Structures are given as structure tokens and as C-alpha cells.
Amino acid sequence: MAATAPAIGPDSAAGVIARLLAARGVDRVFALCGGHIMPIWMRLDAEGIAIVDVRDERAAVYMAHAYGEASGRPGVALVTAGPGVTNAMTGIANAHAARAPVLVLSGLPPRPQTDRGALQDMVHTEMLRGITRLARTVREAAQVPQALDEALAAAAGEAGGEPGPVFLDFPTDTLRAEVPRAVQLPEHMQPRARGAIAPEPGALARAADLLWQARRPLVIGGRGVRGAAAELVALLDATGAPFLDTGECKGVVPDDHPSAVAAMRGSVMGDADLVLTIGRKLDFQLGYGSPAVFGAARWLRIADCAAELRDNRRGEVELFATPRLALQALVAAGQGRASAVDPAWRERLRAGHAERAARLRASMAAAADGADGFMHPNRLLAEVQRAIGDDAVVVADGGDFLAFARVGMRCGSYLDPGALGCIGVGTPFGIGAALAAPGRTVAVLTGDGSFGFNAMELDTAARHGVPVLVVVANNGAWQIEVHDQTLTHGKVVGTRLQRADHAAMARAFGAHGERVESAAALPAALERALAALRAGRPALLDVLVSGEPMSSDARTGLAWVPDLQPLAAWDEAERRWRAGAAG
């Protein structure tokens, strides 16, 4: 008689994993099934946790990333062993660069088959340690509660660590084994709120002095202000300091707030005498904080993890604190003090921003078709903006089209490929965000090249009834941004793609799909697409756009472009600054 595997019950390792996740508020997991993870899959279903089954493991991690960012719950992906993990690695690397808390779970062959040539037998953890906060194989069922608890803490960046992805895998026989009741301790199972860190009083007093005495202070937001919008606005109102958002916090401060000066990015960076960063690394998008960009500015930095506090430039004062608490404390410390901000400087910046922003909106709405007869990308974006309003969740994806969208779109929340430049995130990010924010319009604005990476996830959206709008700017081309103009003699190079009918593919999956060939047809198509969303269906508009226009990024070869300053000019400024400093 053939032996039968024991039932996978609630006290199995897989059962404990599912119960612990449910206790921590996990209501859905993004996954692609496989034999090595079926015990977890079965117990997730038994615990009432929804499984969003995807078409590729990379997309599962992208969806978990966006879902976690938009919902505040842990984002969880479940991928099978071997190629399931290697497929997921790009998504994990992207979460690593974005400092996004994502839990990735996988399986392994049974322990007796280790190193014997079993199917999909790989040492996953060695590949993943460099792009995770924790990567561990759990071989003993009794260790599952503690390991999962530690992994979730590491992902959230508890105790001042940098948040980001974590990875656990389990042999299948471990997943089936019983976890002794004695080690299923409430301390591991119960929900945990991330501890808040109050600013040190002495450092807070020095920070308040710096900020209220500065004549030209600049506030730059990052990941740290996402949960502190009200506190940030209160600080800006109290000080009158100009504010620059970044891709990590676009939408947190309304575009019409008096401190918003994004269109004057280059000027305000060069003028500032004090720069306050809030939960933001000084990466390439901010010129690494170099004096070649920021001149002789002093620095004040606030973050709840060291990676956002001391990279590239040290602060004259550094507040290691929860940004929300630090901002509250700074406002309180400034009560009764008059801001020293130069009003003429602030008004010049604000007027310049308003004038440039209005000019951009007008030019986008009136952008003429290209000589090839197709719509300008900016005209497409202007019509989308009109249709979705200013409070939608916008996901931008692609190379050149991303640059148009990042500059031209107003939104309530924003996601894009981030510092890794990982194009292809658009549709999966949109699905994750739409599931996390029911009732809000979620619009994915993507180039056709980047759409192709995860186009099959439209099937996922249709099967699960996810009301996400995907707008494909179809110019039938890969356009490669020039990052070293000496190699290409300053020319933008690219390759041709088909102007494939993406709308037909969307309809084949059961989504609403339309091809739009003219600007005149776009408003009505957008209305029909939004009606599909209201009916609970995903919608895709395949919009033919001109391949002639180039974004500022493509023209200059620079993604962080302050006032369209070319990369070569920044390199020269950096070289001269270093030479002067050495002299």
C-alpha cells in the first residue's frame, strides 16, 4: 500500500506561517504556485488569506512591494524554489534599492535530498544576501515562529535598521512537520507596531536654531515623509521654507502649496544656505549632495535609519528619530520664533515655479502632433490628467515616457522604478496599489517597451477583478538615454519595436481594451476606460504616440536634471570644485 503524506494542519510549520501572517494583518499574498511551496499555499487558503496568483515571480514581488507601500501592511510574495527564486531576484533587488519592506517566502527539497541533485535544489540564500536585510533557511520546524518574527522586524527596519526585503526558505519536510505548541509563543504571533523614536532634546534644540535662523533653507523629502504629510506641511507653514519632492514622496505636499518649488529645482539647490533632508538618501538624483550642486550649504538631516542619515554628506545636526515625531518637535520648538527666511528669495522661487508650471501645463495641452502624424506624449499626459484628476495614484514606468510623466503629472500618490531604474514595474505596481487602495483611481503610465516586461500581468488583473487603468504610450521604439555623450557623439540612439496592438491582447484577457490613434479620440476613450474601472474591470488604452519628441532626460542624458543642466556640465563643476578644494 502506498504511503500517504500526513495532513498539513494548523500546527504544521506551514500552518504556523499562515497563522502568524494573518495575525500580523496580512490579508493577501502574491504568488506563483510550485511543489516546494504548496504546504504554505494550502495553509494560507485555510486561514482566509487571499492568494493573488501571478504570471511571473518577479511580478509577484513588485506587487507585494506596491501593496505594502500603499497599504501599510506587510507586502508578502511566495515563490517556488530554483527558477522561482531566480525569477524573483529582480523584484527583490528593486525593493532593496527602494528600501521597501517585502517578505519573500520560498521552499526547498526535503532535507534528506539536500546536495543529491534534487529538482530545483539551490542555495538561495547565498544569492540573496547582498540584496536583502535578512536571508535565512529555516530547517527546524520549532524555529519557524521566531525566524518569521525576526524577518518581519528586519523588513520593517525596527530598531533603526534600514527597511527592505527579507527572504526565508524552508525544506518541504520542515513545512509539513509539527511546531511544538510550547514554542508557539504569543510574543511571536501578536501584531507589532513599529516603535517610534523621539529626537534627542539637545540635537533638537540645535536643529531648531539652524532651521529658524537660515535665510535660504531648503527642505527635501524622501521615504521618511510618507507617513508624516500633516507634520511636514505644518513645518513648511511655520518656517516658510521651500520644498522639493522626489520620486519617493511625490504627492505628499500638494503642488499648489506655497512652499512647492519643484520647477525651480536647479535654482533652489544652488541658492540654499541650509538643506534639510527627511528620510532621503543623497543619491544620483540629488547630485550626491555635492558642493558642485549645493554650493556651501549647511546640512540638517532627519531619518530613522542610518542609511538615510549619513550617506555622502554629514549633517551639522543629525536627528536620529521617527520623522513624524521630529517634525512635530521642530514645529513646537519654533513656536513664538520668527522665521529668518528671505521673503524676496522665497517669492522669486514661488513665482518662478508657478509661471513654469503653468507654462508646462499649457504646452502639454496644446502639444502638436509629430511630423509622423502621431500624438505628442505630453498631449497624452494632459488628457489623462484631466480625466483622473490630481488625487489619483500614478505609477510611471519606462525610459523616456517616464521622464515626461514624472515632470508633467500631478497626483496624490506616486510610484516609479526608483533608484534601480528597474523598468517593467508599471503594471504589477498598479495591480498592487489598486488592491491596497480600493476606491481610488490607479493609473499606470508606461512606455510600450517597459510594458512588455510584464504585459501578461493584465491576465492577473482581469482574473482577480483589479480595477487598474494602464495607458501605454506606444511609439514602437526603444529609446536609449545617453549617459556618456562622448561615446555617442551626443546622439540619442535606439531600436525599433512593432507598434503592437496591446489593446487586442487586453481584450483577449477579458480586460477593457482600446487602441487610440488620435488626440481627438482620447477623451472619450478615457471616459470608457474609467467606466470599466468603476465596474470592477481593468482597462488598457494603447495610445499611438510620436517617436520624435525627446524628454529632458534624453536630451541631456541625466535623470536628476536640475533645470536641464547636462551631465557633462555637472561633471565639470564637480571636477573644478574638487580641484579648488584640493588647492
Q: Say how many C-beta atoms besides its own lie within 10 A of residue 215's C-beta.
A: 14
Instruction: Report the relative pairing of strands 298-303 and 493-496 from DSSP bridges.
Output: unpaired
- Residue 495 is part of a domain; what is its CATH number? 3.40.50.970
Assigned domain for 6 exists: no
Active site residue 481: yes
Residues with Cβ within 8 Å of 159's Cβ and at least 6 positions away in sequence, in order, are: 153, 195
User: Sheet holding 50-53: strands in order across?
Assistant: 50-53, 28-31, 75-78, 102-108, 166-171, 134-137
582 compared with 130, residue with greater pLDDT: 130
In a domain, 267, yes or no: yes
| Segment holding 509, helix H or strand E | helix 502-509
Residues 277 and 425 placed together within one structural domain of the fold:
no
Query: 182 and 109 in one domain?
Result: yes
Co-location of 525 and 387 in the same domain: yes
**Domain count within the chain:** 3
- Sign, CA torsion 560/562/563/566: negative
pLDDT on residue 495: 66
Identify the helix (H) or strand (E) that includes residue 173: helix 172-176
Catalytic-role residue among 383, 457, 481, 514: 481
**Mean predicted confidence (pLDDT) in 277-291:** 94
Residues 228 and 150 in one domain: no
Residue 316 has pLDDT above 60, yes or no: yes
Question: Pairing between strand 493-496 and 477-480?
Answer: antiparallel
Both 26 and 166 in a single domain? yes
Q: What is residue 571's predicted lDDT score, i.e. its pLDDT?
A: 59
Q: 132 pLDDT exceeds 60? A: yes
Domain that holds residue 84: 13-189
**Structural domain ending residue among the three candidates 295, 327, 352:** 352
pLDDT tens per residue, range 85-125: 999 999 999 999 999 999 999 999 988 877 877 777 888 99
Q: Are residues 514 and 418 in the same domain?
A: yes
Asked if residue 389 and residue 242 are part of one domain, the reply reads no
Query: Pick from 136, 165, 189: which residue ends a domain?
Result: 189
Task: Give the DSSP H/E element, type plus range, for residue 571.
Answer: helix 567-582
- Show which of 288, 322, 352 is a domain's final residue: 352
328-378 confidence digits (pLDDT tens): 999 999 999 999 999 999 999 999 999 999 999 999 999 999 999 999 999
